Amino acid sequence: MSDSTNHLYDEIDRQNQHLPASSRRGLIKGTAASLAGMGLFGLMSASAEAKVSTNDANKAENILAVAATAEVLATIVNTVGPEKLGSQLDAVTRRNVQAAAQQEKNHYELLTSKAVGGKEVTKTIYVPDEVFASKENLLKTLVVGDQVFINAYLLGVTVFARQGTLSGSKFARYAAEIMATEAVHRAVALQSLGELGNDRVYAKFAQREEVAGLPTTGAPGFYDIMDAVTVLESAGFGFGKPGSKPGTAYNYDEVAARTPVDPGVNTISIS
């Protein structure tokens, strides 16, 4: 029996605690019969949710730590990119990237607030020098990075929702709201590359990357939050230490102090 069906049966049992044990067993048996009759057992066992492990790697603290550290990286790249490339970026692209820097900084501040309780692994990121070598390199890095963030936040939605508590549902919503913004960042970066920005019917989670010409083209999504770190490290980023490619160290506090604020950015607080 898959983790997802076990979870379903546990929920049925929990939500019907007011009923006698025999009645709860009857409800579970009835649900099992219905799923079997509709041929859904195989579908559930093969679902993305069933593949998201419940081991320590995907515990809430790790997801928050990886997410906060990713937002450190994103704030740095989106702030420094326009500084380095200057007039190589057209006005619209420059404004979109700088607005993304402001938004990533806001995400980091939310994730590390007392209300959420996340803690970054490091504030020092080694960024490959090639990222800032050209407009195309920067934008492709943003497309790849934002997809990693989308995957990570969707994984977070799954893990937090599984908690079955008000706190879990709140954090799941936070993750979904941030993921939606990361999807916008990816779309505008693609559009600035001359590609279709709104190219997906659904935000990509487990599916393979179909955009051509990226370092991650053809690679599948991930079910373990630590794989987000692996993907970023394979692109040459270093977290608190030099990465696998020639790069420069940037400190979040120094960079975030000069992250621009765009008056057009709205919905700057979360409900």
- Does one domain contain both 34 and 124? no
d(CA 81, CA 134): 9
Question: Tell me, what CATH number does 140's domain have?
Answer: 1.20.1260.10
Buried b (16+ CB within 10 A) or exposed e, 110-122: bbbeeebebebee
User: How many residues appear in the chain?
Assistant: 271
pLDDT of residue 11 exceeding 90, the answer is: no
Q: How much of the chain, in percent, has pLDDT values that exceed 70?
A: 84
pTM, entire model: 0.82
Flag whether 262 is in a domain: no
- pLDDT tens string 145-183: 999 999 999 999 999 999 989 999 999 999 999 999 999
- Does one domain contain both 47 and 94? no
pLDDT of residue 75 exceeding 80, the answer is: yes
Flag whether 269 is in a domain: no
The total number of structural domains in the chain stands at 2
- Does one domain contain both 73 and 40? no
Output the pLDDT for position 74.
98
Which residues, in sequence order, are bridge partners of residue 250?
A: 125
82 and 241 Cβ atoms separated by less than 8 Å: no
- Does one domain contain both 110 and 238? yes
Q: How much of the chain, in percent, has pLDDT values that exceed 90?
A: 77
Q: Phi and psi for 229 in degrees, rounded to 5?
A: -65, -40
- Does one domain contain both 18 and 133? no
Flag whether 263 is in a domain: no
- Does one domain contain both 22 and 146? no
Q: Which residues span the domain enclosing 31?
A: 3-51
- Does one domain contain both 179 and 99? yes
Q: What is the mean pLDDT of the chain?
A: 89
- pLDDT tens string 202-256: 999 999 999 999 999 999 999 999 999 999 999 999 999 999 999 999 999 999 9
Flag whether 261 is in a domain: no
- pLDDT tens string 91-117: 999 999 999 999 999 999 999 999 999
- Does one domain contain both 84 and 130? yes
Flag whether 268 is in a domain: no
- Does one domain contain both 78 and 169? yes
- Does one domain contain both 76 and 146? yes
Flag whether 250 is in a domain: yes
Flag whether 78 is in a domain: yes
d(CA 118, CA 61): 7
